[in-house]
Amino acid sequence: MTANAATIDLIKEFEGFRSSTYKDAAGVLTIGYGTTAAASVGIIPAHGMTITEPEAAEYLHRAVDKFADQIKIAITQPCNENEFGAFVSLAYNIGPGAFRKSSVLRHFNNGDKAKAAASFEMWNKAGGKVLAGLVRRRKAEKALFLRPAVRLDGTTPRKSPVQSTTLQASAVQIASGAGAGIAAIGGLSGAAQVVALVFAGVIVLAALWIAKERLRKWVSGDR
């Protein structure tokens, strides 16, 4: 899984582009879109250094990809692209190590998304002080986390397995197979009845297998 465009836009908005080096709220030399030496993406900010916006965007993408790889192995529950994007933005700001130890991740992995969302707002301090910029950023990350992920076809993930058209079709197929079996018992005899029953059984078994696979994918996050 990679960070989506909404993630990049959020990070750019709150980091802001700076063409020359500056010290962040923690006193660390920074450049571009919040890039520091600790990111290890090919640049070490130094006093007097300058950078172009395209260069800054490239270092940002490198850092985002790197942090995404570092945190995704710690996520044990199915995660949609907006949830993951909010995690990446938080990790970009506080560091992958701090994210892996955070209550945000712990609550998410425990299956409590409400507590995970609320925990974003705890990370609002730098140097022991609450900063208005971090308060706004955590609210934006929380909002992204809670935003329904949109599929490539413009639809949103289903909230219940019964909304799956695959499962609906399987139910119809099972009902049709059962109906064919009942009809075979009542209206046919001998070898014809056996053939019809076998055919109906195959239909039902195939539908059950399809339904099982769809439910498995649902559990893994494909909705």
Q: pLDDT tens digit string along 88-122?
A: 999 999 999 999 999 999 999 999 999 999 999 99
Determine how β-strand 129-130 pairs with β-strand 125-126: antiparallel
For the chain, how many residues are written?
223
Element (H, E) at 35: none
State yes or no: pLDDT of 163 exceeds 70.
Answer: no
Determine how β-strand 18-23 pairs with β-strand 29-32: antiparallel
CA angle 20, 63, 99 (to 5 degrees): 115
Chain position carrying tokens 């959020």: 10
| pLDDT (0 to 100) of residue 170 | 64
Element (H, E) at 127: none
Q: pLDDT tens digit string along 10-19?
A: 999 999 999 9
Looking at residue 9, its amino acid is: D
- pLDDT-based confidence at 128, cuts 50/70/90? confident
Judge contact between 22 and 45, C-beta under 8 A: no
Q: What's the CA gap between 159 and 154, in Å, rounded? A: 16
Q: What's the CA gap between 130 and 138, in Å, rounded? A: 12
Q: Which of 117, 40, 102 is nearest to 71 (CA)?
A: 102
Task: Write down the H helix ranges in 37-187.
Answer: 53-72, 81-94, 96-100, 103-109, 113-119, 132-146, 165-187
| pLDDT (0 to 100) of residue 107 | 98
Q: What's the CA gap between 97 and 85, in Å, rounded? A: 17
Q: What's the CA gap between 205 and 212, in Å, rounded? A: 10
Note if 15 is an active site residue. Answer: yes
Could you say which of 13, 15, 53, 141 is catalytic?
15
